[in-house]
Amino acid sequence: MSDHTAPTPRSLDDALALMKDLRARCDWDRVQTHQSLRPYLIEEAHEVDDAIAGGNDAVLRDELGDLLLQVLFHAVVAEERGAFGMRDVAGALVAKMHARHPHLYGDGVKRSWESMKAAKAQRSTLEDGLPAGLPSLHRAHRLQDRAAGVGFDWPDARGPLAKVREEVDEVARLLDPDTGAVHDPDALEAELGDLLFAVVNLCRKTGVHGALALDRTNAKFVRRYAAMEALATADGKTLTALSLEEQDVYWDRVKAGERNP
């Protein structure tokens, strides 16, 4: 278990010196490479995300430190290869932020970042530069951001809302209205993908990130399901042994309890 007490104040230079010392004297740190460190970087990023969701500042502080360690680690490994060092990483960051904010550090004209990036990068495809492992919901949001940055976008949320309704109708046409049977599984998968993409677009146009909205609903479902199990247990029943109709009674009780705590 991590110690979340307040640490002795240190600087980024202290952290970098520690990383170099570990690289020189620790058997495990010495043999790591960019490739071997990849899983840890992903893991630490997820742990930071969990800490943000948890709302505990001490945990977030510690997890950000673990993520910073990965940044320092890669910079030190790169410096040993003669590629670049931590100061180069910092310099690239500052240069990029200046370029992204010309209204603050340049000619005073505020521009869309996606349009500036597209002009500079001269992408051959819309997805050039997006990480291969990016989760699908986030990838959809970023693709739509990029398209919007060069002018391909709805003027307001009414357009994507109408598109969601259109896609729901197209999905419905592939389901038997009497039995719910699927007429064409492959076509249904394609139409459900279109529906999800349209919902992400509606989220984006209303200032919501689809992945965060879904995370919130996932957590709500888990909370409600646990409450259903607790109510059933209090009644001397096992939730999984009940019929759907009986389970729905508990579901409705949980929702009613949330509306009227």
What is the residue extent of each domain of the chain? 12-94, 136-207, 213-259
Radius of gyration of the chain (CA): 25
Give me the pLDDT at residue 115, please: 65
Percentage above 70 pLDDT, the chain: 95
Instruction: Give me the mean pLDDT over the 2-11 stretch.
Output: 78
124 or 43, which is more confident?
43
CB-CB contact of 220 with 251 (8 Å) = no
3-state secondary structure of 9: coil
pLDDT tens digits, 81-106: 999 999 999 999 999 999 888 889 98
Thinking of the domain 136-207, which architecture would CATH place it in?
Orthogonal Bundle (1.10)
| Over residues 37-51, mean pLDDT | 93
Instruction: From 236, 169, 229, 174, select the one nearest 198 (Cα to Cα).
Output: 169
CB 103 within 8 A of CB 53: no
For residue 2, name the pLDDT band (cuts at 50, 70, 90): low
Least confident of 4-8, 49-53, 108-112, 117-121: 117-121
pLDDT at 103: 87
- CATH ID of 12-94, from 3.10.530.10, 1.10.1060.10, 1.10.1530.10, 1.10.287.1080: 1.10.287.1080
Lowest-pLDDT range, 131-145, 194-208, 219-233? Answer: 131-145
Residue at 190: amino acid letter: A
Spatial neighbors of 227 by CB under 8 A, at least 6 apart, are 254, 257
Length of the chain: 261
Q: Check if 12-94 and 136-207 are the same fold.
A: yes
